[in-house]
Amino acid sequence: KENIRAQTRQLEQRALLGEFMGVFAHEVLNPINSISTGLQLMKLKLGEEHPNRDIITGMENDCIRLHHQMEALKNFAKPYEPTQEPLDLRQLLIRVSERWRPRMERLNISQTMQIDENLPTIIGDWKSIEQVFTNLISNAIDAMNVTGGILSIRATQGEPVGKLKQLVITVSDTGPGIPDDIRVRIFEPFVTSKAMGTGLGLAITKRIITAHRGSITVNSFPGGTVFQVTLPANEEK
C-alpha cells in the first residue's frame, strides 16, 4: 500500500510538472517571438554593411533555437495517448529512409536495409512511430555528417514474449559513438550532445515506444552506435 501511495504521489507530481512545463513554454514563446520580430526590423534598418549586423544575426539564431526548444517542451508536456490501428512497419521504414536519401547522398552516407519480407504488422499510431524512426535516422545521419559512413536499418522477428510475437528494429551508424556520460542518460529529457539540440527527441522517442508496449536500448562504442527498438506484433495477424 505504501508503494502504491508513493507511486501515486510521484505520478501526481509529474502531472503537475508537465502542466507547468506546458504553461511555461507557452508564456516564453510570446516574448521570444516579439524579440525575434524586433531584431528583424533592426537588421533591416541597419543595412548590409553595418558592423553590428553579425551580432543581430547571432541573436536571431538564438531566438530560433529557443523557439525550437520551447515548442519541443510544449509537445513533451502534452498527455500522450496513441491511436490504435494496424501498421505495416516495412512500408513505414522504407518511406522514412527514402525521405533522407538526398541528404545522405550529399554527406557521402550509404545505406543498407534488411527487412523481413513477411514482417507482421503492429498496432499503434503511425504518426508517432514515424516520428520515432525519423528521430533515430536523423540522429544517425548527424553523427556521420562530417566523415560520411554507413546507415544500417534492420527489421526482423525477435523472440516471442509468451505467445506474442515481437518485432526488433535496429538503426545503426558508423559515427564516432556517444560519450559514456551522455549514453547512460540518453533517454532523459534535456540530455544531448548536439550544440543546437533540445535534448527531448530521444525522451519523446522512448515515451512513444513505451506507450506502444515496446522498449528501446542503445549500444555505442568508438566507431558506431546501435539503437534497438522492440515492438509487439499485431495479435490478429
**pLDDT over 80 at 55, yes or no:** yes
Q: What is the DSSP annotation of 11-51?
A: HHHHHHHHHHHHHHHHHHHHHHHHHHHHHHHHHHHH-TT-T
Report the chain's C-alpha Rg in angstroms: 21
Q: Is the pTM of this model over 0.75?
A: no
pLDDT in tens, 137-151: 999 999 999 889 999
pLDDT in the model for residue 171: 97
For range 120-124, the mean pLDDT: 92
| Confidence at 51, pLDDT banded by 50, 70, 90 | confident
* pLDDT tens digits, one per residue of 16-47: 566 667 677 778 888 888 898 998 888 888 88
- Using alpha carbons only, what angle is made at residue 105 by residues 227 and 199, rounded to the nearest 5 degrees? 40
Q: What is the signed CA dihedral for 68, 69, 70, 71, rounded to 10 degrees?
A: 50
pLDDT of residue 162: 80
pLDDT band at 10 (very low <50, low <70, confident <90, very high): low
Q: What pLDDT does 12 receive?
A: 63
Question: Does the pLDDT value for residue 62 go beyond 90?
Answer: no
| pLDDT of the residue at 8 | 72
What does the pLDDT look like over 97-113, one tens digit per residue? 998 998 999 999 999 99
Q: What is the pLDDT of residue 129?
A: 93
* C-alpha cell at position 18: 508537465
- Whole-number percent of the chain with pLDDT over 90: 38
Name residue 193's beta-bridge partners. Answer: none
- Is residue 193 predicted with pLDDT exceeding 70? no
Q: What is the pLDDT of residue 17?
A: 62
Cell of 107: 554527406
Whether 79 has a pLDDT exceeding 70, the answer reads: no
- What sign has the CA pseudo-torsion 67, 81, 127, 92? positive
